[in-house]
Structure 1
Amino acid sequence: MATVAPQEPTAGPPGDPWTYSLRLPNDPRAARISRATLRAVLASHGMAELTDTAELLTCELVTNAVRHSDGPAQLRIRHLCESRLRVSIWDTNPTIPAPFDAPPSRLDRFTALTEAAANLDATSGRGLLIVRLCADNWGGYPLADDLFGISGKLLWFELTPQQRAYEIAA
């Protein structure tokens, strides 16, 4: 059964960091459940402006976790500092897909756009491309810890609210 639990106190000021975790079974409904959870968490913490992009990217990573692993997954939603949101997905498959196996480069959005233009007829395999195009930062790393029985990989992305042009000009 999936559970949602705050990992750190949320009673502090609105800018304080917080974390929520949701354990997901390997089930096709996991993406829908993760979107609903994410929507509720962001609305509760006054970060609703990130909801659309965060839902899309979370759905892509959760769907990949369900498709490419045979065990459970875990969604973690974290507010870091300066209204930065980090969403990470852990799954039991240790293989980190390219290009998440290396840090993003300064030209990665351009590279991702070039890949998208070259594969206009593709009907699958665009989830990580969407993450690369829409996230402010992203990455992945392997998890292998026999002591605690944790293995697999963690893929993550970060979003920050976009500053409005009039705010920048002021």
Structure 2
Amino acid sequence: MPEIDLAEPWQYSLSIPHDPRAVTVCRRTLRLVLTLHGLIRLADTAELLATELISNAALHTEGPALLRVRWSTGVLRIGAWDANPEPPELPGTLSCLTDAESGRGLALVRACADLWGGQPLASNRGKYVRCELAAA
């Protein structure tokens, strides 16, 4: 097997339909990509983050979504686009959500990611929510 160069940047995008199976497809695809790039140590947290971002996209929109994963300068960036331009609700802390049956997704992202955020796109073209994981 060829040696993996972790300094080399890369990017993958996965377009997904509005389908509940899309979350599983994204999670498994992300694990495979990270394994092939020698970043398996990030896979568990990255899967959790991607799952929450894509689940929100599937839950709050009627249309397709997109998962984008980028690696550059020792940072894994995970983002989800969806067609709903409404910004995501700001999460509370995990401790205040322990009894909640839903609504914990972005609080998990906030707790597990090194950096996260989201913004609507120009011309009402949806929104992009992203997070970062440092490989340290």
Same fold (TM over 0.5): yes
Counterpart residue identity of residue 96, structure 1: P
Q: Report SS of the residue matched to 2:128.
A: strand
1:159 corresponding residue in structure 2: 133
1:51 partnered with 2:48: no
1:17 partnered with 2:18: no
CA distance in 2, matches of 1:121, 1:48: 32
1:134 partnered with 2:134: no
* Count of equivalent residues: 133
**8 A Cα contact 2:113 2:132, kept in partner:** yes
- Over the matched positions of the two proteins, sequence identity in percent amounts to 49
**8 A Cα contact 2:68 2:78, kept in partner:** yes
- 1:33-69 Cα offsets, whole Å, 9 max, x none, are 0001100110111111000000011001101100100
Q: Report SS of the residue matched to 1:89.
A: strand
Counterpart residue identity of residue 157, structure 1: C
1:67 corresponding residue in structure 2: 59
Given the two structures, how large is their TM-score scaled by the length of structure 1? 0.74
Structure 1 residue runs of 4+, over 3 Å off? none
Deviation at 1:144, TM superposition (A): 2.3
Q: Report SS of the residue matched to 1:140.
A: strand
- 1:57-106 Cα offsets, whole Å, 9 max, x none, are 1001101100100110000010011x210000000000111328xxxxxx
1:99 corresponding residue in structure 2: 90
Q: Report SS of the residue matched to 1:59.
A: helix
Change (3 A) 1:15 1:70: same
Larger Rg: 1 or 2?
A: 1
Deviation at 1:145, TM superposition (A): 3.8
CA distance in 2, matches of 1:97, 1:133: 16
**8 A Cα contact 2:42 2:135, kept in partner:** yes
